[in-house]
């Protein structure tokens, strides 16, 4: 290769459409099974940066993985939290009384 015919600098590997599709399919399958982490797993497996995979996902219009949502209704969760809080306050009040009685009995020794 002559001096003037050198490869352009700053250009990374180019991936074919088939390679991109294989990697993105892996990401989607991984995310479907585990909820998230597909880009990181694909990055390790295929030796492609997560940034590149993220860009491909954006170009493809793929939704970003979300955490799995629970089936619990938010009002039920809030109600249960309130119930637990009330019970904790009652038990703490009882515990304070027991501590005072314990200290008084210990003082009699």
The 10s digit of each residue's pLDDT in 42-69 is 999 999 999 999 898 888 877 665 555 5
In terms of Cβ atoms closer than 10 Å to its own Cβ (0-12, 13-18, 19+), residue 62 is middle
Does 19 score more than 70 pLDDT? Answer: yes
Higher pLDDT, 83 or 75: 83
Top-confidence range, 20-24, 80-84, 104-108: 104-108
Q: Tell me how far apart the alpha carbons of residues 72 and 97 are, in angstroms, rounded to a whole number.
A: 37
- What are the backbone dihedrals phi and psi of residue 82, each rounded to the nearest 5 degrees, phi first? -65, -45
Provide the residue count of the chain: 109
Higher pLDDT, 13 or 10: 13
């Amino acid at each position: 290769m002559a001096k003037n015919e050198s490869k352009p600098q700053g250009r990374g590997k180019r991936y074919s459409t088939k390679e991109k599709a294989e990697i993105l399919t892996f990401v989607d399958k991984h995310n479907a099974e585990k909820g998230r982490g597909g880009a990181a797993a694909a990055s390790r497996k295929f030796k492609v940066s997560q940034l590149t995979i993220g860009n491909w996902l954006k170009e493809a219009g793929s939704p970003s993985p979300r955490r799995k949502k629970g089936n619990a209704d938010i009002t039920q969760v809030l109600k249960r939290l309130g119930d637990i809080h009330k019970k904790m306050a009652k038990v703490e009040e009882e515990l304070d009384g027991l501590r005072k009685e314990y200290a008084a009995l210990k003082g009699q020794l």
